[in-house]
Amino acid sequence: MRAIAIVIGLMLAVHAPAATGAVETEYDLVVVGATPGGIACAVRAAREGLDVLLVSHTQHLGGLPASGLGVWDTLYEGRRAPVYDELRWGIFDDYRRRYGEDSAQYRECLPGPSGHTNGKFEAHVFERVATAMVDREANVAVLKGFYPAEAEREGALVRAVTLRETDGTKTLRVRAKVFADCTYEGDLAAVCKAPYRVGRESREEHGEPHAGRVFLRPAKGRGPESEASSRAATLRAGLTLRRFVGRQEVLLPESTGEGDGAVQAYNYRTILSSDPANRILPEKPDDYDPAYLRTLEYGSIVRPIPNRKIGWNRPQLVGPHQPYVEGSWATRRRAMDQHWEATLALLYFLQNDPSVPAEKREFWGRYGLARDEFADHGHRPYEIYVREARRIVGRYVFTEHDAMLAPGLARTPVHGDSIGVTEWYLDTHACHADRVRGSLHEGKMMLHEETWPGQVPYRCLLPRGLDNLLVPVCLSSSHVAWGTIRLEPTWMNVAESAGYAAALAVETSTPPARIDVDRLLRRLADGRVMIALFNDVDVAGDEPWVPAVEYLGTKGFFASYDATPSEPLTETVARCWSSGLAAILAGTAEPNELASSLCREAAGDRSPAATWAGFRSILRERLAARAAALESLEAVAKRLALRDSAAPTRAEACRLLYEVRKAVDKAAACE
């Protein structure tokens, strides 16, 4: 009930500040944006003991999934972060409880045998489950219908933010130790004067093959045969990800790679119902223009969504979305209105125009707006699908290269400060309506074969020049790389890590940009947040070695997506890993160099299995210059009751290394 009381108090403060002197307007953490990422950040921080304010610019929580998304867009169907997993399973349980385990609704909400979904859901169900999750957190206060209008900075710190009513003029000033921008638009970062980008980098800026102005078309055949492509095909076959098929080729010379200010197209994720009692058919628009409507795409559908619904992922209006990015809310409403009017007009066109084939008219004629969705908003989703807006300029820029195989490795580049993972393919919608020589619309790309699971560095959440603002949604990325980041499961994964970072910052009275990042990673690993993706590791598994493998997966201890935890530790790997731990403790670790070394030395590795005695001997040699590490090694070995003659598995060896790493840190803290 504390959260409800604070919300009432906040609203009173807006109406009559002089009469509410005791109202709390200072928090440990203020999260702006009640998107799934914002919810994950707020909930995690609250569970770590912080007082949190969660701000939504609408009267509803849940972002796009509560506005018709209908599906978890992800190729990875395992567990990846506690809040995401809890919300996802909460939706399954909601359908099971309401309709029964044998119901069509429950079957349709579950992951299917094919496709790319981790489950499907109705918008109002997502909102209900997400809101209930937030309501259960006594440390989270919620403020609806406000957006960030101004910010007060003192050097590299944001001290306060003024929030303004989205549909009014009232304002509220809030202070916090840490701020997090979890909006789709990057609105808080903008008012805090964080550096950001809008649009596309040139091909030359980051050396990205698909950057800037680009035309792609579907390619026939398997692609160029080479040793590298055959190796990639073998690696891809081993990935525990769902797959899309298809290859595209870049058209030259039309693809100039020139940068510009364009972002990818928007649209509404409209929910349609085929239930006659629950559908509202569109009326013919006053300005009905079938010639224009024939130019719009309409074929992207999510189905089935429970209770006789589908999700309509069209039409996209390429161009009219552009003013939305940095516009006022009045400007944004005009852009949203234009998209909604086109959506209704296209639905009417598909149902009635004689140029539409009869079988398609019959299909679309079965559907209307779902009466039980967005009932307080004319059955129109609360938010438009903002696929891309601002992207901060952070202390690292995630590029196309971070989602592609690294030279000499069987995986993407390793980041020693990884706090989440990407796994969706590089997927960008049209930036302009131009086409050439059978191409897709300019800027549209779906790089199924080129994309690999990547690691998101913590530095991507930290705007340059600001130390207490975290940006886990509009994080630092190039336009091309944004296509693998901009999915709700990835945002929830990264944003929950941001919640942990905020908690560590408050606990240590240190701005998020200056916290001990290695300590953060260990907290994430222990909390079962995925920071490294493996084919053969369940991040939420009960095995005591899981956090160790996750942590070491950010340090270069694995050169591929296979941890092979049950395999014996060989003497060759024991030497590499011992050197790796020594480098971590010395602060000189270079994850990609270690991974490359492992890749070279472990190729055709025929060395015998190591024993605990042999492994510890190598460790003592590598750690000889660090007395605290040697003491920690012996203490941990005794606590784990290691038998000198036994042969450790790779997982058991990882656990020893991880426990030593933590013991050294604990000993240093006690000095």
List, for residues 310-355, the tens digit of each pLDDT value.
999 999 999 999 999 999 999 999 999 999 999 999 999 999 999 9
Q: Cα(first)–Cα(last) distance of the chain, in Å?
A: 42
List, for residues 568-604, the tens digit of each pLDDT value.
999 999 999 999 999 999 999 999 999 999 888 777 7
Would you call 39 helix, strand, or coil by DSSP?
Answer: helix
Confidence of residue 505 (pLDDT cuts 50, 70, 90): very high
The CA distance from 526 to 508, in Å, is 19
pLDDT at 11 exceeding the cut of 50: no
Structural domain spans, the chain: 270-377, 534-671
Residue pair 203/212 in contact by the 8 Å Cβ criterion: yes
Residue pair 248/335 in contact by the 8 Å Cβ criterion: no
Q: Which residues of 560-593 are buried (b: 16+ CB within 10 A; e: fewer)?
A: bbbbbbeeebbbbbbbbbbbbbbbbbeeebebbe
The CA distance from 132 to 121, in Å, is 16
- Cα 347 vs. chain centroid, distance in angstroms? 31
What is the pLDDT at residue 228? 63
How far is the CA of 566 from the CAs of 464, 540, 633, in angstroms? 42, 17, 22
What is the pLDDT at residue 22? 30
Would you call 112 helix, strand, or coil by DSSP?
Answer: coil
User: Which one-letter DSSP state was computed for residue 89?
Assistant: H
What is the pLDDT at residue 14? 39
Cis link prior to 357 (omega < 30° from 0)?
A: no
Residue pair 591/555 in contact by the 8 Å Cβ criterion: yes
- Cα 431 vs. chain centroid, distance in angstroms? 22
List, for residues 16-50, the tens digit of each pLDDT value.
333 233 334 899 999 999 999 999 999 999 999 99
The CA distance from 433 to 568, in Å, is 56
Confidence of residue 375 (pLDDT cuts 50, 70, 90): very high
Q: Quick one: what percent of the chain has pLDDT higher than 70?
A: 95
The CA distance from 418 to 454, in Å, is 9
The CA distance from 585 to 619, in Å, is 12
- Cα 407 vs. chain centroid, distance in angstroms? 25
Count of CB atoms situated within 10 Å of the CB of 303: 14
Count of CB atoms situated within 10 Å of the CB of 119: 18
The CA distance from 314 to 133, in Å, is 30
The CA distance from 428 to 388, in Å, is 9
pLDDT at 307 exceeding the cut of 60: yes
Mean pLDDT of the chain: 93
Across 137-151, 433-447, 588-602, 616-630, least confident range: 588-602
Residue pair 591/583 in contact by the 8 Å Cβ criterion: no
pLDDT at 130 exceeding the cut of 50: yes
Residue pair 479/200 in contact by the 8 Å Cβ criterion: yes
Spell out the residues 6+ positions from residue 333 whose beta carbon is closer than 8 angstroms to its own: none
Across 234-248, 381-395, 625-639, least confident range: 234-248
Nearest residue to 512 via CA among 30, 25, 82, 3: 30
Residue with tokens 């509009």: 474
Q: Which spans in 153-289 are helix H? A: 187-191, 203-206, 227-237
In terms of phi and psi (left: phi > 0; alpha: psi -120 to 50; beta: otherwise), the region of 528 is: left
- The structure's pTM equals 0.95
The CA distance from 285 to 215, in Å, is 34
Helix axes 123-135, 36-47, angle to 10 degrees: 20
pLDDT at 621 exceeding the cut of 60: yes
Residue pair 353/290 in contact by the 8 Å Cβ criterion: yes
Confidence of residue 5 (pLDDT cuts 50, 70, 90): very low
What is the pLDDT at residue 122? 98
Q: What angle do CA 190, 147, 21 make, to 5 degrees?
A: 115
The CA distance from 81 to 324, in Å, is 32
What amino acid occupies position 227? E
User: Which one-letter DSSP state was computed for residue 437?
Assistant: T
The CA distance from 628 to 636, in Å, is 12
The CA distance from 626 to 206, in Å, is 40
